[in-house]
Structure formats: structure tokens, C-alpha cells
Amino acid sequence: RDFNERCAQCSEVNWGLTDGGRFYCRSCHNVTERTREVVNTEFISNTRVQRISKGSRKQEKNDEGCEWYVCEGFQLILKKQAEALEALGVCSQMKDEILCNFWRHYLQKSKQAYCNRPAGETVKALSVCDSSTDVDSDPERPSLLHLLSVSESEGDLQTDCSFASSTTKISESTSVCSGSVDGSLYLLKNQKEKLRMTMPMTLSFCYMALLWLREPMTLSDLLRFVVEGHIPYLNVFQHFPEKMKLCGLDLKIFCVESWPAYEEVYNKMLELAAFLDLPRFPDITDSCFLHPDMLCMKYLMEANLPDELHNWTCRVVKKTCIGEVDFLTLVPGNKPTRKVKYDVLAVAVIVVVLKLLFLLDDHYEWLLSDFAEERNKNNKEGGPYFEFKKWYKVIKCSLDVEQKKLDEERAKCLWRCEKPLFYSAKKKSKVLKRRQMVVNLQNQFGKLSGSVRPAEKPNPSSFQLSWSEENTDGSCFHGHSLKGILQEKCGLLRAMNPDYWLGTVKLCNEKVCGHLAHYREVDFPQSYHFILRLFSFLLRIQPSYIHDEVCVIEHKLFNKKLCKKPKYNIGLRK
């Protein structure tokens, strides 16, 4: 009589008691965790006390753990990634203010939380802990939603009924299909209109927050830190609380067997920004790190190119108007404007400048290099002239070494986590036994082969290749002069090279072809391909993406000549 709460399954108030003292619904036979405790009347005469208490979440014999939702798992991952970014020096506002609000808005827009309970369907209420408490502060239920700081006026977090409702008992569905409550329905249900959460999308959330704060970290830097292990991504579910059992279809959601792709993370970020109806992002001005002038300086230093090239990159940025605030600032949902990839744009500007000065046709750059070499032999005063041939040899040697290291690290990468996972409770014993056998064999073979333990991961750095002018071997080209390839005319320094060749005469439709310009290595000079290969290694992307951006900048730079009626071949005069 004293228990008047409605049933979570059928919303009826018609309770009975099981032999174990738990309440069950006589209409749908749903068993709750609430119990009826009665004090023994043999010790206290003429007294009977009834008390309704919340049953403790004791682990069952099969060790099923507690109930949890997929969105809680992703929230824990986002929390770990945000903490890792803060450890790398990102502004502390990112996690508590920016990323928190983005995630909360996403849960509401996708109707997974912070929404009205749909009538007639099951909704499970999840308590939200205050941001000042620990994740494991509640002994009965870990505060999985610790990332969000919600006041009492905002109410409890409510999970969408489309995930939670089921005709069978929750305990049965979790033990058979997945460890989470909604794992099976999460993959089966069509969630396209809701932009279903995935592992790469966690990085899209992080990059969107970084871009909002205009942090000095590009998307290529973010993905590189992920690969190097500075930001949790691979097997990050190992950090889940012990009570959050992961099995079955949960593994398809949280397990990854490939590194995140640049294009996928970037495109998902654009979809997220439009899905959340975000306003115009903060302006990218010339004092911002993401401005092409700033990024060009960074990549010129990393590519070991002369400092004087920065003046030329600034001229190209100004000439093509790609340094304007309206061009660089992201406006979500604005389809006519082309979205900017700041790091790719900067390296593409450098490639265009190198083509302007050295042509990169496998002939002219070597002639200029021979001329600079002769001048350096005879000229003992002032700074040395830049020799393209010498630079090529130094960079190629370093690039080959670093590429080999990267390939070896990728080959040694263990996609399976150290923590054994099982798809069902029946296979748990077999998986644990097999895992122990593998570990024993690895230890035995390691002792026989005398293998050395892997070295600790290096400290994170914005530069993958570093060059110092203090080196006596002449491997640093930052202070080298471009006088050998420039001539003064009308008070301005101009390139001695009068020609230029275009990557493509006409840009393709990106929606139809997938690229703005087609790129095959055999169709272009080897010098040009080497430059693309260098920057594709620094950004960890395909050379074709840089080639696309180069072609776009070329068409902006030579727009007036391209619009004329006479046809221009691959060789175009400036």
C-alpha cells in the first residue's frame, strides 16, 4: 500500500511482493530493485515497523555489473580526452565550459538526455553528480556523468526512450546482447537523423572545442598526438569503471582497429557544428595561430626551408585573399562557403611559393642549385645561398629515417587491449584462459630472444623534425639566402623564373569526383612529388589532399589569366 510509484514498464500501480521481498508489477511482471523491509516483531512487542528502502546494487553471481548506457561510455571517453588535452597545455575552459556545453547540447538534440519524457514509453532516470565530486564517489552507482555540471533546477538527466524501452527485462537484454542497456538497439536503430556517436566523433568534438577556443593545435597535430598515445583513443574503454561491463555489441561501438582519418574527423566536425546549430565561430585574425601567415612560418621551420620564403608566402596569402577573416572563420551550416583546413592550406601556400621560385619541373631547380653552389664556393662573405640539391639530400635522409620509424611503430601496434574482452558470459572462461596462455608465451619468447622492453613514448612536441642553426654540418637552411634566384626590378624582388605550370587547368566537381584535381605520381615531376610527400608526412594525410589545395590556390592566384579566352597549356607564363 505504501509503494505508490508507477511501474517503469507499463506505468501501472499494481504491486506485489516476491519471496525475496522485492516489489513486482502484477500487470507486466516487472521486478524492481525496491524492497520491503519488516522488522521482526518477536523482539519488540506490539510494534511493527515498515520501511521502504532502495535495494543495494549488489553484484549478482554472474557478475553482470551495473546498468549503463552507450552515451555514458562516450562521455567518459570525452572526459579522458579533455583531461589529456589540458595536460598538453590546452586552456582549462575547454572541458568544463566549451566541450561540456557541446556534449550536453548534442545529448539534447539527439534526444538521449535533457529532453521531455515521451508519453507511454520507458525512460530510465540517471542521476547527475556535481562536478566537484569524484567519479567513484557513490559506492552504489559510479557517477558516470561526472563531466556535466548541472544545477538542481535543470533536473535529472533523462535517457531517450528509444534506447531504453524493451519488452524484455533490462537484465536479460544486457546479459545476452551487450553489456550496456542500449548497446543492441544503438546499432540496430537508424540513427542517421540523430548523428549517431562513434569513436572518431569524439575527436571531432575535441577539435570543434579547440577551434572554438582558437587553440594553437591543428587537426593534424591532434590526430598525431592520438597515434603517439598522448590522447586516449585506442582501447580507451579499459579506463571504464569495473562495474561497466563491456561485451557483445559494445565492442563494435567502442573498439577501434584503425587510426582516425583526417577527412572523416573533419567532416564529422562540420556535421556536428551544423547539427548543433552553433553560431559563427570566433574570428580567425592575423594574430591567431591558425592564420596562414602563422602556420606557414611553423611549417617552413619544420621543413628546414629559408626564412626569407615567409615573405613570399605572405604575398601569396594577400594576393589570393585567403587570409581574410570571413574566409578563415567557420560558419556552421553555410554550404556556399568552402570550409578551411588550416594546416593543409598553409602547406599548400608553401608548395605554390616553391613552384613560383624553383618551378619544380625536375630541371630548373637543379640549374639554380648548381648556380648557388658555384656562388657559395667563390663567395666567402655573408650568408650562404640556398642550394635546393643539398637541401633535398638532407631532407630525404631525415624523411626516410622518420618514415621507417613510423612504419615500424604502426606494424608493432597492438590493437587488442591488455584487458581481456568477451562477447558473452559463456565464453569468459575460455577468453581468460587463452589470454593468459598468450601472455605466458610472449614472456617466454621474450626471454629467449633477449628482446628489450619498448622505450617510453617521447614527450609531445609541435615539431616532428627539428633543425638547429648551431649545427656545424650545415644541415640547417633557415638562414640561407635566396639572392641566387631573385632579381630586383622596380624596387621589388622578383623571381628569376618566368614560367609556371598548373596542376590542373580546370577544377573538378568535388561532390562528383571526390577531389578537386586528380593526382597520380607518374603524371607530375619527382621534385613536386617529393615536396608533397614531405608535407603529407608532417600532416599524416594523403598527398592528393595537398595537391587539391595547391590547385585551388593556383586558380585564385592566376584567376585573371585563366579567365581569358586563349587556352593555356600545362605551362603558364606569369
Distance CA 500, CA 316 (A): 14
Describe the strand order of the beta sheet including 22-25 as a list of residue ranges: 15-17, 22-25, 31-38, 50-54
Q: What cell was used for 72?
A: 555514458
Q: What mean pLDDT comes out for the span 105-116? A: 86
Distance CA 288, CA 294 (A): 7
Per-residue pLDDT, 81:
95
Q: What does the buried/exposed string (b/e) look like for 445-469 if buried means 16 or more CB atoms within 10 Å of the residue's CB?
A: eeeeeeeeeeeeeeebeeeeeebee
Would you say residue 97 has pLDDT above 80? yes
Q: What mean pLDDT comes out for the span 291-301? A: 96
- 334-344 per-position pLDDT tens digit: 776 778 999 99
Q: What mean pLDDT comes out for the span 228-246? A: 85
Q: What mean pLDDT comes out for the span 16-30? A: 74
Per-residue pLDDT, 124:
41
What's the maximum distance between 2 C-alpha atoms anywhere in the chain? 116
**105 vs 173, residue with greater confidence:** 105
Helices (H), 228-363: 250-254, 262-275, 292-302, 309-320, 325-328, 342-358
Q: What cell was used for 565?
A: 579566352
Would you say residue 568 has pLDDT above 50? no
The DSSP element (H or E) to which 34 belongs, if any, is: strand 31-38
Which pLDDT band, with edges at 50, 70 and 90, does 134 fall under? very low
Per-residue pLDDT, 192:
54
Distance CA 255, CA 273 (A): 25
Q: Are 481 and 386 in contact (CB under 8 A)?
A: yes
Would you say residue 430 has pLDDT above 80? no
Would you say residue 38 has pLDDT above 90? no
- Whole-structure pTM value: 0.76
Per-residue pLDDT, 203:
97
Average pLDDT, the chain: 78
Q: Are 265 and 203 in contact (CB under 8 A)?
A: yes
Per-residue pLDDT, 51:
42
Coil, strand, or helix at residue 77?
Answer: helix
